[in-house]
Structure 1
Amino acid sequence: MRQDLSGSVSEFLLHVHDASARLAPEDFQMWTLRELQRHIDFDFAIWGAGDGHDRRLHRASVYNQVETLFQTWEPVKNEDGYADLVIGNTGKTWTLSQVPNVFRTRAYNEHWRLYDAREMLSTMQVDPVTGLHVFVTLSRDRLERRFTEPERRFKNLVTKHLFVAARHNDQAQLGRTGAPAALIDHLGHVHASLPGFIELIVDEWGAAAGRRLPRAAAQDLWQRGHHEALGLHLDAEPAGTRLLVRARRRAALPPSLSRRELEVAWAYANGKSQKMVARELDISPTTVHTHLRRIYQKLGVTDKGALALWLTRHG
């Protein structure tokens, strides 16, 4: 134990909440784990979020350990007794040694042992915004360095404040964008958002999209950095393990094109073949060809490049 923990809680939380207002989200979690190490000694730490039901990891900040840590967890995650304990008892703090015969299990020997995790201290709760299980786990590399009861109490007390501070940190980052914005993970789940962003998203795709963007939109944002919907334009930039996404309405539908023609035009201009457009819109290739012929006639363009330029200027 670094110091007498009884009087350090307020000081620690004051520093954390101050940092949440000024640090970027991609820096805040790592800074906080380093600060926590001044109060509780540990060798590596994880601050993550995932689905406690299928145990799919959505994001994680890994401190003082390899970033590929969870690759070896995938094959054994459903056999991990420590995960069972922590996921099944949210809001409390648990040590690895509380799992019976843990060092004989496949999950330990094929995963945690590889990273010298001899003792761990983990706290988890369900995020009220995303519905994901968020957690902070600390690890030590020697059995004789077990976490003490004062350390467990300290971590149990401060971790709930860390989760709140992280939400404040996300909102502070979004507030600096000057636009309707959100932070999403690689699966499209919305971790934090401004009200204007949710309004635009729900208008475009319905209420469910306010929690998770449509798969095609999320893929475009991660792969291309932008996505064009019928009435919405999204831009994205990396923000640590997530994306910072900005949204704005597109201009009103051009009166010369029908809604279906505009869908075909955008899909085709974005580089898809006529067959790919047909599959995406669930229509026949012949129908796509007919739509494109009419679109070209209406707009006075002769090729895909000219169509893309027209849509950029008027779409």
Structure 2
Amino acid sequence: MEDAALPSRIRTRDRTIQTTLSPLGNDAMSENPTRTISATVLHAFSMAILQIQRLAQECTVSDFHGSALDELRKLIAFDKAWWGRSALIEGLPVRHSSHLFELPVDFLQDWESIRTEDVTIQLNRATPGRTVWVDSRNSSPGLDWLGKRHDIGDFICISLPHHQTQLVDHLTLYRTSRASQFNHTDRLLLDAAMPHLNAAVTTNQIQTFKSRRGTLMERSNLALAVCDKQGVLYSAEDGFLDLLLTEWPKWRGPKLPDQLRQPSYKGENCEVQTDPVDDLLLVILRKQSPVDSLSSRESEVALRFADGSTYKEIAQELKVAPSTVRHHIRSIYTKLGVNDKARFAQLMHPLLTEVYP
């Protein structure tokens, strides 16, 4: 992707950066003025981005957006925010995920009722990756009503299209009607910050994979991914798509098969477990093994036998007769399709390392 989110011309001069803005929006700020950003502001920007990257590593998915916006507010003053991802259907956004900051949950319903009057949509489509400015009091009747209902004066908004998923990431920062208006520096900073914010979201999701993987008993032959509640894939571990294609060879994305949004699903080649994480879904896809065909008692016997226990030792531990253990071993070999202990141990090794690390 080209650096559309960055100012069109940047050069250093006497510890400042001079930037020429392209015309955006329909306000007085669209006269293409030149503005400078001080070294102090640039340092603050760098520190804020570093802190947001750290938060991406440390926060849960549920907490990250709020924590990141708290940090962003130290760089760009704002009172409220809406950070989300949408699909454009017939020119209008359809929400896939939303994170509200200092706004009530009914804000989204109120916005839905006036979205056809939201001039921001067309401005963002015309200038993807560039921040637009809107004064809700002087735009459309719908935005004026929304502003009065939620104490919004002016706001700045940026959107970044995601070509793989056909979705759009967007962030809107609001100021109250009593606050001073956003300026060009605010817009430039949001231009530069948005790609970093999107990257931090991906980092945070990957970190969720790592932490969740550590809680799973069976960590081998599986891969994790995050999708929204409509099933659109956001990010995935290496191997997830390869594993998915063994069960759904005709899948082309970006929307995952419907079965992957169910709490659990067992197919011919894979098993799926899906857990809600905030307004997203964590999908755990595991390759099925011949070991999955064993009964619970056979699994108990197989694990002990693979770990080196004798028939007699297994019988004593499970309080059954040695002949019963011998019968289970014969059944296990038949189900696994093996004839010798070497092949049996090879099949059992991944499960054995999980149970007896």
Is TM > 0.5 for Structure 1 vs Structure 2? Answer: yes
Cα offset, 1:150, TM superposition: 1.4
**Counterparts in 2 of 1:209 and 1:251: CA distance versus 1, 3 Å:** farther
The answer to whether 1:88 aligns with 2:126 is yes
- List aligned pairs for 1:1-315, cutoff 5 A: 5-53=41-89, 54-97=92-135, 101-102=138-139, 105-142=140-177, 145-176=180-211, 177=213, 178=219, 179-206=222-249, 208=251, 210-218=253-261, 220=262, 225-251=263-289
Q: Residue 183 of structure 1 aligns to which amino acid in structure 2?
A: V
Cα offset, 1:212, TM superposition: 1.2
Q: CA RMSD in A?
A: 2.6
Q: Counterpart of 1:55 in 2: which secondary structure?
A: strand
For residues 253-307 of structure 1, the C-alpha deviation after alignment (integer angstroms, 9 at most, x for no partner) is x99xxxxxxxxxxxxxxxxxxxxxxxxxxxxxxxxxxxxxxxxxxxxxxxxxxxx
Q: Residue 48 of structure 1 aligns to which amino acid in structure 2?
A: G
Q: Counterpart of 2:284 in 1: which secondary structure?
A: strand
Distance 1:171 1:226 in 2: 22
CA contact (8 A) 1:201 1:209 kept: no
Distance 2:106 2:271 in 1: 34
Distance 2:183 2:149 in 1: 24
Distance 1:167 1:33 in 2: 16
Structure 1 gaps of 5+ residues are: 256-315
For residues 173-209 of structure 1, the C-alpha deviation after alignment (integer angstroms, 9 at most, x for no partner) is 2233254001111100111111222112122223535
Distance 1:87 1:141 in 2: 25
Cα offset, 1:33, TM superposition: 0.2
**Counterparts in 2 of 1:210 and 1:82: CA distance versus 1, 3 Å:** closer
Distance 1:111 1:228 in 2: 46
Q: Residue 175 of structure 2 aligns to which amino acid in structure 1?
A: R
Aligned-residue sequence identity (percent) comes to 21
Distance 1:84 1:143 in 2: 27
Higher Rg of the two aligned structures: 2
Cα offset, 1:159, TM superposition: 1.4
**Counterparts in 2 of 1:137 and 1:229: CA distance versus 1, 3 Å:** same
Q: Residue 173 of structure 2 aligns to which amino acid in structure 1?
A: L
**Counterparts in 2 of 1:68 and 1:228: CA distance versus 1, 3 Å:** farther
Q: Counterpart of 1:96 in 2: which secondary structure?
A: strand
Q: Counterpart of 1:151 in 2: which secondary structure?
A: helix
Distance 1:214 1:240 in 2: 21
**Counterparts in 2 of 1:216 and 1:109: CA distance versus 1, 3 Å:** farther
Distance 2:163 2:53 in 1: 19
**Counterparts in 2 of 1:206 and 1:26: CA distance versus 1, 3 Å:** farther
Structure with the larger helix share: 1
CA contact (8 A) 1:52 1:87 kept: no
Distance 1:87 1:74 in 2: 18
CA contact (8 A) 1:42 1:140 kept: yes
Structure with the larger strand share: 2
Structure 2 gaps of 5+ residues are: 1-38, 214-218, 294-357
Cα offset, 1:128, TM superposition: 4.6
TM-score (norm 2): 0.63
| Aligned position for 1:270 | none
State how many pairs are aligned.
245
Q: Residue 169 of structure 1 aligns to which amino acid in structure 2?
A: N
Distance 2:104 2:179 in 1: 24
CA contact (8 A) 1:50 1:57 kept: yes
Q: Counterpart of 1:62 in 2: which secondary structure?
A: strand
Cα offset, 1:109, TM superposition: 3.8
Distance 2:225 2:201 in 1: 14
Cα offset, 1:157, TM superposition: 1.1
For residues 141-169 of structure 1, the C-alpha deviation after alignment (integer angstroms, 9 at most, x for no partner) is 11651001112111211112111121122
Q: Counterpart of 2:239 in 1: which secondary structure?
A: helix
